[in-house]
Amino acid sequence: MKVKKLFAPLIIICLIMFIPLLFPNPFLMHLLISIFLFGLVCESWDLSMGYLGLFNFGHLAFFAIGAYSSGMLALYYGISPWITMIVSSIITFILGLLISLVTLRASEFAFSLISFAFQSMFMHWVRSGGGPAPGEFGMGGATLTGGTQGLGAKFSIPPFQLGPIIIRAGANKIPAYYLTAIIFVIVTYAMYILVNSRFGLAAVALRDSKTYAISRGINPLTYTAIFISISTFFAGMAGSLYAHLMGVVGPEIIGWSNVVIMCCIVEFGGLGTIFGPAAASFLLISLTYYLAGLSAYKNIIIALIMLFTLLIWPTGMAGAASWFKSRYLNRKIWEKRRGGV
Amino acid sequence: MDELLECIEISKFFGDFAALNNVSFSVNEGSIFGIAGPNGAGKTTLFNVITCNPFPPSSGKVVFEGEEIQKLKPYEIVHKGIARTFQIPVVFYNLNYLKSVMVGSIYGTLTNLKQNVFGYSRNRYEKNALQALELVGLTSKRNDLTVHASLYDLKLLMIASAIATKPKLLFLDEPVSGLTDHEIELIWALILKLHKESDITMVIIEHIMKFLMNISDDVMVLNFGEVICRGIPRNVANDEEVIKCYLGEEFKDVFEKMKIR
């Protein structure tokens, strides 16, 4: 039973690990790196949107805060990217905790609205530059965030280094691929453990019936805030990875079109399933890459997918998979259960 | 017998409307206390304000084991040992039977985050939840999803998850309404078994008089947010005002057939 359960994840992990050996195509590598990065964002967004039922409009702002804070610390102060990745994840954790603790005292709507305002505010701050950059980096009027050109446009953000290996999505993308793939697999597994733990139980209970959950002793503020801050923690981690791998972070990563694409991935994958958004990010991020030539028309296709999901198949890919499984693979159990009642 | 719960002049106002007006009563330890009254009399509101879920009383005091609890948060009241069920069945429809009872067994007894992080053992809470399921007789369905549960199962599940929080006082809001006669008898037996075995004090709201009058040691009747009668079931059932406001004249004949103690 247990061995059988490990079968599917092991095959997927093996596939992920052998792809660069089978198809060392730079475009594919770059695509997969983006998929893993944005897959992390979507999975962590699913923690708040799917498991808590709270719409965090500002989720990508936390991704950007992770990217900018990690990038700035490494670029301006010369701190190792490995350390700044942890520091920036903790920064986003604390920010998520603060915002949720303050707004959720009022209501869930306050949380959504304040997170929306937070996103807009952060985007504005990034675009405005946020004052001169420190030391020699500020020469020639360079700003702290790099303004609309982005952080790292002049001096690129330092990459991860592991001994002699420089990990960057540049000429040789293989190390960067493995780094993102390993982090993607580990974080996905960590989230799977989290949502199946007692904390996930509290989150689902609060989402399904808040009054009932409270009447069984769940402190709604504490457990909601913890869940949201863990989701922002992983978003910050993904942002930091993005910054050091790409070398440049622009304000367009938190533009509304990006927010809509990420939101669509979570919906299309299936709310509250972790693996659903992970799988959907493979499909939809590739789609956006292949549709890049259509420029603005790309958004129409994304919107159609979103509408289809919301109106016709609200459980998304994960729902489709479990329907397929119960209908065709476990047919005997399914019929027995129906007949047995 | 000691008083476990004492309510002193509780009032609840919605705007100018008094849903509860200076209601005072006490519940003895180890007893079964029945609350009756016509629709809109404020019975469920009384449960709501005592458990502070979803709102506390506008004025008055609620004393549980010698301690005032009306200012506590609803989940802190659960940790003090008061659990409740709901009139309109509520359900965690994404969880299975066992997990929805585990919500009660984990969070009803772990009072804060520190305890949850450091003092958790899955086996213990799963065992508690299984015991509660065993008590209500749903063990065989423990891996089914609650979204498919029948009304009877939902009522049993609410009772099971309430018991899993290890309460001293259990509020049951219409535990048998909407059920068949056979199911009523099963829940009746369950409540008596619970009361006898685990020594839980109970407060029950019910419209089904046959059930309420037989099971309670003490009955209180509310009308328009005020107590109109309180006493042992036989006296309450014979009270002129109760018959006029709630039971109706024809109840006098039914009452003899029911053989209320």
Residue A331 pLDDT class (50, 70, 90 cuts): low
C-beta atoms of B109 and A214 within 8 A: no
Residue A327 pLDDT class (50, 70, 90 cuts): confident
Average pLDDT of the residues of chain A = 88
* A136-160 exposure pattern, b = at least 16 Cβ within 10 A, e = fewer: ebeeeebbbbbbeebbbbebbbbbb
Residues of A in contact with B78 (CB under 8 A): 214-217
Instruction: Clarify whether residues B122 and B231 are in a common domain.
Output: no
Is the pLDDT confidence value at B47 over 60? yes
DSSP one-letter string for A61-115:
HHHHHHHHHHHHHHHHH---HHHHHHHHHHHHHHHHHHHHHHHTTT-HHHHHHHH
Tens digits of residue pLDDT in A270-307: 998 899 999 999 999 999 888 888 877 888 888 899 99
Instruction: Clarify whether residues B27 and B14 are in a common domain.
Output: yes
Instruction: Clarify whether residues B142 and B123 are in a common domain.
Output: yes
What are the residues whose beta carbons fall under 8 Å from the beta carbon of A111, sequence distance 6 or more? A54, A56, A99, A100, A103, A104
> pLDDT at position A336, please?
55
Instruction: Clarify whether residues B186 and B256 are in a common domain.
Output: yes
Cα-Cα-Cα-Cα dihedral of A140, A143, A149, A152, to 10°? Answer: 90
For residue B247, being part of any structural domain is answered with yes
Is the pLDDT confidence value at A338 over 60? no
Q: How many CB pairs under 8 A join A and B?
A: 79
> pLDDT at position B252, please?
66
Residue A341 pLDDT class (50, 70, 90 cuts): very low
For the record, the structure tokens of A264 come out as 């669509």
For residue B138, being part of any structural domain is answered with yes
Instruction: Clarify whether residues B107 and B181 are in a common domain.
Output: no
Query: CB of B49 within 8 Å of any CB in chain A?
Result: no
Tens digits of residue pLDDT in B211-239: 888 889 999 999 888 898 888 888 888 88
Nearest to B78 among A215, A220, A272 (CB): A215
Instruction: Clarify whether residues B181 and B215 are in a common domain.
Output: yes
Highest mean pLDDT, choosing among A4-13, A92-101, A283-292 = A92-101
State the Cα–Cα distance between residues B223 and B170, nearest whole angstrom.
23
Last residue of one domain, picked from the residues B166, B181, B201? B166
Give the residue-averaged pLDDT of B159-181: 91
For residue B183, being part of any structural domain is answered with yes
C-beta atoms of B94 and A219 within 8 A: no
Average pLDDT of the residues of chain B = 88
Instruction: Clarify whether residues B124 and B160 are in a common domain.
Output: yes
The whole domain housing B160 covers 92-166
C-beta atoms of B94 and A204 within 8 A: yes
For residue B121, being part of any structural domain is answered with yes
Cβ–Cβ contacts within 10 Å for residue A329, how many?
10
Can you give the CATH number for the domain in which B22 is found? Answer: 3.40.50.300
Instruction: Clarify whether residues B182 and B253 are in a common domain.
Output: yes
Residue B50 pLDDT class (50, 70, 90 cuts): very high
Query: CB of A214 within 8 Å of any CB in chain B?
Result: yes
Residues of B in contact with A218 (CB under 8 A): 75, 103, 107
Instruction: Clarify whether residues B62 and B134 are in a common domain.
Output: no
Tens digits of residue pLDDT in A123-171: 999 998 877 888 777 777 788 888 888 888 888 899 998 888 888 887 7
Is the pLDDT confidence value at B64 over 50? yes
State the Cα–Cα distance between residues B93 and B96, nearest whole angstrom.
8
For residue B86, being part of any structural domain is answered with no
Structure-model confidence comparison of residues A252 and B1, the more confident one: A252
Instruction: Clarify whether residues B173 and B66 are in a common domain.
Output: yes
Last residue of one domain, picked from the residues B166, B193, B210? B166
> pLDDT at position A91, please?
96
> pLDDT at position B142, please?
86
Instruction: Clarify whether residues B64 and B176 are in a common domain.
Output: yes
Instruction: Clarify whether residues B41 and B150 are in a common domain.
Output: no
For residue B65, being part of any structural domain is answered with yes
C-beta atoms of B100 and A205 within 8 A: yes
> pLDDT at position A152, please?
84
For residue B34, being part of any structural domain is answered with yes
Domain count, chain B: 2
Last residue of one domain, picked from the residues B166, B195, B228? B166
Residue A340 pLDDT class (50, 70, 90 cuts): very low
For residue B87, being part of any structural domain is answered with no
> Over pLDDT 90: what percentage of chain B?
46
With contact defined as beta carbons under 8 Å apart, do A92 and A65 qualify? yes
> Over pLDDT 70: what percentage of chain A?
96
ipTM: 0.91
